[in-house]
């Protein structure tokens, strides 16, 4: 007998097993096409992305005349054929999980989460695309989906495997979640209690708020901000020529115009830079003959030091852990590479401060979500006075200006292609580092908390290494460091 999900009782379910359909039940949406578009773009590139988009009318027609399985096979083949399986898995883990989380239905998830026994999920997605999300975020024990064939050297053929699916259990399951309008999977027939979702009534299927996510979403990758539905992709393609011209114009403004005109001209193109000052900004120490000021900021994009320079209306220098040659060439301010050798990096930063103001991002890498990574204490060892700067970015509607697996040399260009991005900077009160007291870690943690409080961000102990291990499966270091430094 079937009952609506609203009739489910959450009491005493700690040992109950559960089986659920994914599309239209745990996920509000039944449309798989945007997720294949993501794989095509992030793992295959823009040409494969465009090809799959052009095939959308044909795929949609197949789905609506009863050939859903054929439409699925075509989407899998076009989005995956010829791509390394390892790349598809990396995209599934780093990019797709965010969109799956955003599409979780609150009502069905609360039922699924209350059953702490063995968990099963039935899906039409290829296992390589959905397993990382289900196992990491929903702690699913058994995923029943389609398998994609691959070559011996790890390249995806884009064809479905004909191997039979074996269940890991032969006993009855306590609870089953299904859609009223979709065909029943045989696993649902094993369930003692069956509950149906509000299929066909999307307004009743409220999405799970971020505060209730089973696991905080801190790190994710990929260029696209919005889910690539057909309408969003069409808008993106139409915007692309204008976005390229707009990004080039904004770069030219930053490189060619004096500081007094940059803010005005940038605002005319839709790029807003807002600075909030807690106390009077210090003048350039070099002009007073006392050396430069050290500005310590949260790290949102590669342009953070440039925006600080525009706000101060004077040239500053910046240090970074990694920077492409192209980014160095187009940067309007000097950038210097850190070697991850604490002694050498400290000496370099001291010498730069003797020449003028310096900006450092002690997180060592960017974070897109409202979290701050652990601050490296190196900056607290080299000066006695620090100016914290709380930096955040708003209005990023189309492209992320950061990447782990993509072309990092295009990070700034992608950010500047957004129609109306906004940089917000808050210069906080100066902090004394007590550089001879031996409390450098405490100072770094204090500055992190000050910036986190100003932004409303949560401070974490996660580092650059944690981010790259999760997204890219490496430590994010091209060459082994010459000394131990956790950034």
pLDDT of residue 215: 92
pLDDT, residue 485, reads 33
Give me the CATH number covering residue 83.
Answer: 3.40.50
Q: Residues 52, 171: one domain? A: yes
Using DSSP's 3-state secondary structure scheme, residue 401 falls into: coil
Q: Are residues 315 and 438 in the same domain?
A: yes
pLDDT at 484: 33
pLDDT of the residue at 487 = 33
pLDDT reported for residue 179:
84
Task: Examine the fold and report which residue of 212, 239, 258 is the final residue of a domain before the chain moves on.
Answer: 212
Query: How far apart, in whole angstroms, are the C-alpha atoms of residue 389 and residue 309?
Result: 12
Cα torsion at 391, 396, 399, 401 (round to 10°)? -10
Cα torsion 43, 49, 53, 59 to 10°: value is: -40
Please give the Cα distance from 287 to 386 (Å, whole number): 18
Would you give the distance in Å from CA 482 to the centre of its chain? Answer: 30
Residue 189 and residue 268 in one domain: no
Within a domain: 86: yes
Residues 207 and 239 in one domain: no
Domain boundary among 177, 212, 247: 212
Could you tell me if residue 224 is inside a domain?
no
Q: What is the DSSP letter of 70?
A: H
Q: Are residues 292 and 392 in the same domain?
A: yes
Judge if 462 and 409 occupy the same domain: yes
Domain boundary among 212, 244, 273: 212
**In terms of domains, do 203 and 235 share one?**
no
Q: Please report whether residue 479 resides in a domain.
A: no
57 CB burial (10 A radius; 0-12, 13-18, 19+): exposed
- Distance (Å, rounded) from C-alpha 59 to C-alpha 37? 12
The DSSP-derived string for 380-408 is GGT-SEEEEEEEEEE---SB-S--SSS-G
Q: Domain total for the chain?
A: 2
Residue 378 lies inside a defined structural domain of this protein: yes
Tokens of 228: 């690539």
Tens of each residue's pLDDT in the chain, 487 residues: 678 888 899 888 999 999 999 998 999 988 999 999 999 999 999 999 999 999 999 999 999 998 999 999 999 999 999 999 999 999 999 999 999 999 999 999 999 999 999 999 999 999 999 999 999 999 999 999 899 999 999 999 999 986 655 555 546 899 999 887 666 677 787 888 889 887 655 555 789 999 999 999 999 999 999 999 999 999 999 999 999 999 999 999 999 999 889 999 999 999 999 998 766 665 555 555 567 899 999 999 999 999 999 999 999 999 988 777 888 888 899 999 888 888 999 999 999 999 999 999 999 999 999 999 999 999 998 888 899 999 999 999 999 999 988 888 899 999 999 999 999 999 999 998 765 455 888 899 999 999 999 999 999 999 999 998 888 776 655 444 333 333 3
Closest among 405, 412, 410 to 470, alpha carbons compared: 405
Give the domain extent around 422.
230-471
pLDDT of residue 197: 82
Shared-domain flag, residues 284 and 405: yes
Is 29 inside a domain boundary?
yes
Q: Are residues 258 and 356 in the same domain?
A: yes
Q: Is residue 151, in this structure, part of any structural domain at all? A: yes
Say if residue 208 is in the same domain as residue 235. no
Q: Is residue 217 part of a domain?
A: no
Residue 482 lies in a domain: no
User: Do 16 and 139 belong to one domain?
Assistant: yes
Do 239 and 147 share a structural domain? no
């Amino acid at each position: 007998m079937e009952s609506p999900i609203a009739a489910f009782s959450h009491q005493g379910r700690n040992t109950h097993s559960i089986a659920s359909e994914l599309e239209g039940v745990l996920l509000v949406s039944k449309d798989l096409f945007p997720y294949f578009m993501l794989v095509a773009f992030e793992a295959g590139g823009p040409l494969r992305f465009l090809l799959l988009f052009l095939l959308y009318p044909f795929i949609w027609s197949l789905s609506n005349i009863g050939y859903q399985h054929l439409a699925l096979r075509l989407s899998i083949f076009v989005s995956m054929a010829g791509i390394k399986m390892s790349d598809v898995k990396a995209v599934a883990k780093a990019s797709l999980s965010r969109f799956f989380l955003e599409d979780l239905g609150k009502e069905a998830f609360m039922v699924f989460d209350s059953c702490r026994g063995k968990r099963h999920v039935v899906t039409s997605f290829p296992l390589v695309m959905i397993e990382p999300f289900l196992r990491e975020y929903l702690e699913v024990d058994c995923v029943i989906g389609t398998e994609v064939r691959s070559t011996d050297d790890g390249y995806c053929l884009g064809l479905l495997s004909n191997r039979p699916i074996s269940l890991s259990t032969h006993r009855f399951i306590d609870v089953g979640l299904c859609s009223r309008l979709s065909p029943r999977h045989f696993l649902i027939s094993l369930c003692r209690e069956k509950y149906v979702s509000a299929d066909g009534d999307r307004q009743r299927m409220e999405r799970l708020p971020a505060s209730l996510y089973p696991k905080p979403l801190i790190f994710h990758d990929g260029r696209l901000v919005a889910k690539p539905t057909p309408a969003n992709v069409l808008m993106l393609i139409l915007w692309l020529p204008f976005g390229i011209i707009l990004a080039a114009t904004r770069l030219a403004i930053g490189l060619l115009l004096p500081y007094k005109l940059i803010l005005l001209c940038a605002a005319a193109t839709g790029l807003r830079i807002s600075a909030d000052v807690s106390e009077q900004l210090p003048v350039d120490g070099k002009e007073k003959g006392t050396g430069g000021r050290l500005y310590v900021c949260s790290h949102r994009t590669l342009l953070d030091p440039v925006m600080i320079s525009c706000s101060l209306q004077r040239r500053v220098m910046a240090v970074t852990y990694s920077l492409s040659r192209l980014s160095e060439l187009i940067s309007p301010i000097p950038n210097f590479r850190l070697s991850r050798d604490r002694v050498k990096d400290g000496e370099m930063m001291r010498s730069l401060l003797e020449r003028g103001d310096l900006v450092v991002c002690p997180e060592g890498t960017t974070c897109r979500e409202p979290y701050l990574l652990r601050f490296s204490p190196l900056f607290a060892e080299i000066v006695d006075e620090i100016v914290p700067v709380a930096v955040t970015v708003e209005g990023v509607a189309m492209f992320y200006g950061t990447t782990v697996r993509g072309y990092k040399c295009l990070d700034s260009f992608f950010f500047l292609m957004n129609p109306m991005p906004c940089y917000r900077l808050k210069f906080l009160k100066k902090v004394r580092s007590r550089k001879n007291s031996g409390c450098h870690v405490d100072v770094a943690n204090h500055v992190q908390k000050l910036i986190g409080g100003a932004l409303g961000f949560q401070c974490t102990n996660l580092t650059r290494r944690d981010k790259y291990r999760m997204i890219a499966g490496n430590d994010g270091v091209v060459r082994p460091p010459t000394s131990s430094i956790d950034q």
